[in-house]
Amino acid sequence: MLCNVCKQNEAKVHLTKIVGDKMQKVDLCEDCSKEKGVDDPTNFSLTDVLLGKVAEEVAELTEAEPAEASVKCPTCGYTQADFKKAGRFGCSDCYTTFGEGLEPMLKTMHKGIKHTGKVPAALQQSRAEAQKIKQLQKRLDKAVAEENFEEAAQLRDEIKRMK
């Protein structure tokens, strides 16, 4: 297999990147991989190597989003431009700051856009409690409607205790 860049030497570095259902593949020889900085994976972007076809696709994607370079994350000072450059966020609050344009990107990366996995135990408990209060409230409403005041009083006290 020959190097995609110089098309002379045998390719020794093989890169595959999958975005959604699109696969990008690059095969490089040792010299070209060094030149492109592939040996330092932290500073490397496949698109830089594949300037051309892939770069155009990326351009299309980014053009579709409005320029929001001025928005800054209040917690960490990260900007939309920083995200476009690095592909990573500055802190967990960035997901709120830059949340609006996120959905289309997440759709191409993941199976869905809603978390259905593990929930921290503390939250799970409060979620269960919230659910229970909701149910009690429903029963209370019904009891009041039926003028079943004894049960209603009990339910009201129980809700009070839980809150």
Partner 1 sequence: MNIHEFLAPPAVACQRTGPQDDIVMSSRVRLARNLCQQPFPSWAKKPDRLRVLETLQPAVQSLPQMAPHFSAAMDELPALDRQILVERHLISREHAAKGAGSGLVINQEESLCVMINEEDHLRMQALRPGFQIKACWQAIDAVDSALEAKLDFAYSPELGYLTACPTNLGTGIRISAMLHLPGLVLAEDITRIINAANKLGFAVRGLYGEGTEALGNVFQVSNQMTLGESEAQIIERIGKALHQIIEEEQNARQLLLEQKSKIVFNHIGRAYGILANAHTITSKETMNLLSLLRLGGELGLLPQLTRALTDELFLLTQPAHLQKQHTEKLDAEERDILRADMLRERLRSVPRPQVPAK
Residue whose CB is less far from partner 1, 108 or 137: 108
Provide the minimum distance between the beta carbon of 133 and partner 1 in the complex, in angstroms, as a whole number. Answer: 17
Residue with tokens 């919230």: 130
Provide the minimum distance between the beta carbon of 61 and partner 1 in the complex, in angstroms, as a whole number. Answer: 14
Residue whose CB is less far from partner 1, 87 or 100: 87
CA distances from 20 to 79, 104, 107 (A): 25, 11, 8
- Partners of 28 in beta bridges: 13
Whole-number CA gyration radius for the chain: 27
Q: Which residues bind partner 1 (CB under 8 A)?
A: 12-16, 18, 21, 23, 38, 41-42, 44, 75-76, 78, 82, 86-93, 95, 102, 105-106, 109-123
CA distances from 151 to 22, 77, 79, 129, 154 (A): 60, 54, 56, 20, 5
Residue whose CB is less far from partner 1, 50 or 78: 78
| Count of beta carbons in the 10 Å neighbourhood of residue 141 | 12
Provide the minimum distance between the beta carbon of 53 and partner 1 in the complex, in angstroms, as a whole number. Answer: 18
Residue whose CB is less far from partner 1, 52 or 120: 120
